[in-house]
Structure 1
Amino acid sequence: MSWTGSEAAFAGGAGRLAGTLALPRRESGDVPGVVLIGGSGDSDRDNGTYFPLLRARLAEAGFAVLSYDKRGVGASSGDWRAGTLEDLAADASAAREHLCSTPGVDAARVGFFGHSEGGWAALLAATGRDDVPWTVTSGCPAVTPAEQGRYELSNLVRDSGTARAESSSPALRLYDSLIEAGRRGADFGEVRRLVAEAGSPPWVAGLWGEPDAGLWAFLARKQDHDPLPGVRALRCPYLAVFGAADPLVPVAESVRLLAAAHGEAGRDPRATLTVELFPDGDHRVQVDGGTRFAPGYPDAAVRWLRERAGERRGGG
């Protein structure tokens, strides 16, 4: 199916959000829609090279697609570092409202698709809502940001070839000290001192970017966010996509936690769980150094979305 792309602008929690809207050329009727939510850091509407390919594949499949610059990135106003994950979820909801109001889009069939940190925002935005028909995440941990970061660092330490036992790894000791500092509200001056005393290892910037007071405050605010209450409160089908070779996310533990949460009694019967795991896929479910999608993805996501988009959403 052919489609066209255009600029989009709408009001978010911190002012103006800007992005790209892809609209399929309709033969008849209104089309379903997907809001793409980018990952951590200063992610823009393209989330590196990930979203353009995904946006095109979804639009070709007949979905209207809206992706946007995170607040304070690209053409969006504000500062993501001054906010919280809840603020990012509110921006995702604002993007959904904009897509729902777009002529030619069926407002009853517009859901979220969040990548990595954007998955946490998607789950928060969908929590407890009857008007969200589905939620999709890719590379989104079911553990806290603190646990995810430690897992990622453990892999970096191991892959460096110079790692000692985890209990005596200087990198992990420093990481644990920084997490503890965040929990007791330490200021950025103490953080700089801890990093300097450890020899200012390059992994700090590699893991979090060049830290400053604003970034530190954001990381400390989000580090113990637990995504599982949001998962338990979903009232819609949920697709969780992972690359099996993702070095950033504890995939096996995330799948275990999601399955346990979805197996709990009293959950909304609409809140089904589908897990798609792609061998050799990295954090963006890509292979060959990120040059192409893992075989079968995103076709599996499109197929899943089409099945749900065929079911018009009712209330209750």
Structure 2
Amino acid sequence: MEPVDIRHVTFAAGPVRLAGTLGLPRRGEPVRGGVVLVGGSGSSDRDNDTFFPPLRRRLLDAGFAVLSYDKRGVGESSGDWRAATLADLAADAAAALAFLRSRPEVRSDAAGLFGHSEGGWVVLRAATGRDDIPWVVTSGCPATTPAVQERHALARYVQGAHANSQAHANSRSAVERVLALYDRLVEAGRRDADFATAAALVDAAGAPPGLAYYWDGMDDRLWTFLKRKQDHDPVRDLLGLRCPHLAFFGGADPLVPVADSLRALGGAACHPSRHRRATLTVEVLPGADHRLRLPGATEPAPEYLDRLTRWLRQT
């Protein structure tokens, strides 16, 4: 069989130039549709570390064209994601979708958006209120605010770090101190405190080691980005969807409050303002992590990839 067609591409998103990889199914095979893959938080590139290559391969094998791109300011893309808002990142995703739809091989009415983790918030924002998007997929994307999600992840991390402590009361107190400091930082962000003020809060608390999960690498630009997005409420975008939505979660995801997200998704799906086309399908893979890997695996579980391609073919 002939190999798939992999191309380096660039496209504009306003003043930003985004670079990415476009994959087309094997020559002579029908193209079922197209998928734009949007990566997660931080400096995610077109491969989203190692998460997107196996997805790309499976989607190409299933007959879908696939486009992924370096986030603005990452790899070969211009701009700076730390200076962006989630709306800016959503505009980038929309530009990627428009580029994919412009390809003669791709049916424009069969190309949609896939977002992983923070990328889920991005694609929901890009899709909300639009009638021309056939579907949206989120994977490991909390249906809570970033502040709530980050607190959950921090709590799980610190609890795990103290799990083997013999002094249970002391370890519980350490967790509570770290979370209390995190809460003070969130409130500082809501007051639009600058980075120096936030750093002073951390120093005054003795910079507890457990906070490193959240605080390591923090600087003025990252602090500004995080405080700008911390209270983003994805439910507003969920209520504005006008297309089917598939939401994937790993049942053992330590980064996402899965149960809280399921409740929020259910509430949005049942809201009287929800568009009749905005059906919701939720898949929770027991034992899987944030990247839908089962214990000991290095790639997403085969059943995850199977369910994803099956849903896309049927939608």
Task: Tell me what 2:124 maps to.
Answer: 123
Q: Give CA-to-partner distance per residue, 1:44-80, whole Å, 9 cap, x none.
A: 0001110011111111100000000000000000000
Please tell me whether residue 281 in structure 1 is matched to residue 288 in structure 2: yes
C-alpha distance in structure 2 between counterparts of 1:30 and 1:204, whole Å: 47
The answer on whether the counterparts of 2:250 and 2:284 sit within 8 Å (CA) in structure 1 is yes
Distance 1:20 1:224 in 2: 32
Q: Distance in 2 between matches of 1:94 and 1:168?
A: 42
Q: Which amino acid aligns with 2:53?
A: P
Identify the match of residue 170 of structure 1 among 152, 177, 188.
177
Unpaired segments of 5 or more residues in structure 2?
A: none
- Over 3 Å counting, the alpha-carbon distance change for 1:62 and 1:28 in structure 2 is closer
Matched residue SS, 1:118: helix
Does 2:200 align with 1:193?
yes
Q: Do the aligned partners of residues 289 and 191 (structure 1) sit closer, same or farther apart at CA in structure 2, a change above 3 Å counting?
A: farther
Q: Is the 8 A contact 1:205 1:211 kept in 2?
A: no
1:259 matches 2:266: yes
User: What per-residue deviation string (whole Å, max 9, x for no partner) do you get for residues 239-295 of structure 1?
Assistant: 000000000001011011101110111321110000001011100111234513235
Could you tell me which amino acid in structure 2 is paired with residue 83 of structure 1? Answer: A
Question: Is 2:249 the counterpart of 1:248?
Answer: no
Q: 2:278 maps to which residue?
A: 271
Return the letter of the residue paired with 1:138: S
Aligned 1:1-16 pairs, distance under 5 A: 2-16=3-17
Determine the structure 2 residue equivalent to 1:83.
84
- Given that 1:244 and 1:251 are in contact with CA atoms closer than 8 Å, whether structure 2 keeps it comes out as yes
CA–CA distance in structure 2, aligned partners of residues 208 and 66 of structure 1: 33
Q: CA, structure 1 residues 208+272, in 2 after alignment: closer, same or farther (shift >3 Å)?
A: farther
Secondary structure, in 3 states, of the residue corresponding to 2:110? strand
Which segments of 5 or more consecutive residues in structure 1 lack a partner in the other structure?
309-316
Q: Alpha-carbon deviations, 1:140-196, whole Å to 9, x = none?
A: 000000000000011112111256447971110110010000000100101111112
Structure 2 residue 47 is matched with structure 1 residue 40:
no
SS in 1 for 2:264: helix
Q: 1:226 aligns with which of 233, 237, 260?
A: 233
Between the aligned partners of 2:300 and 2:266, the Cα distance in structure 1 is 25
More helix by share: 2
Distance in 2, Cα, partners of 1:204 & 1:13? 37
Change (3 A) 1:208 1:277: farther
| Alignment map for 1:21-36 (pairs within 5 Å) | 21-27=22-28, 30-36=31-37
Q: Which residue of 2 aligns with 1:217?
A: 224
- In 2, Cα distance between equivalents of 1:42 and 1:168: 28
Letter in 1 for 2:223: W
Deviations 1:89-109 (A, max 9, x none): 000000001100012011111
SS at match of 1:16: strand
Q: Distance in 2 between matches of 1:166 and 1:123?
A: 38
Paired AA for residue 197 in structure 2 = E
SS of 1:133's equivalent in the other structure is: coil
Q: 1:300 is matched by which residue type in structure 2?
A: R
Taking a change above 3 Å as real, the CA distance of residues 289 and 88 of structure 1, as seen in their structure-2 partners, is farther
Contact preservation (8 Å) 1:18, 1:68:
yes
**Aligned residue number for residue 305 of structure 2:** 298
- In 2, the alpha carbon distance for the partners of 1:170 and 1:8 equals 48
How many angstroms apart in 2 are the aligned matches of 1:252 and 1:242?
A: 10
Q: Secondary structure at the match of 1:300?
A: helix
The equivalences for 1:44-83 within 5 A come to: 44-83=45-84
Pick closer, same or farther for the CA change 1:240–1:168 going to 2, 3 Å: closer
Identity of aligned residues (%): 57
Q: Which deviates more from structure 2 when the two are superposed, residues 222-231 or residues 257-266?
A: 257-266
What's the counterpart of residue 150 of structure 2? 149
Letter in structure 2 aligned against 1:96: L
Q: CA deviation at 1:206?
A: 2.5
2: distance between equivalents of 1:186 and 1:103? 49
Letter in 2 for 1:206: Y
Residue identity in the other structure for 1:24: P
Q: Which amino acid aligns with 1:132?
A: I
Instruction: Give 2:41's aligned amino acid.
Output: S
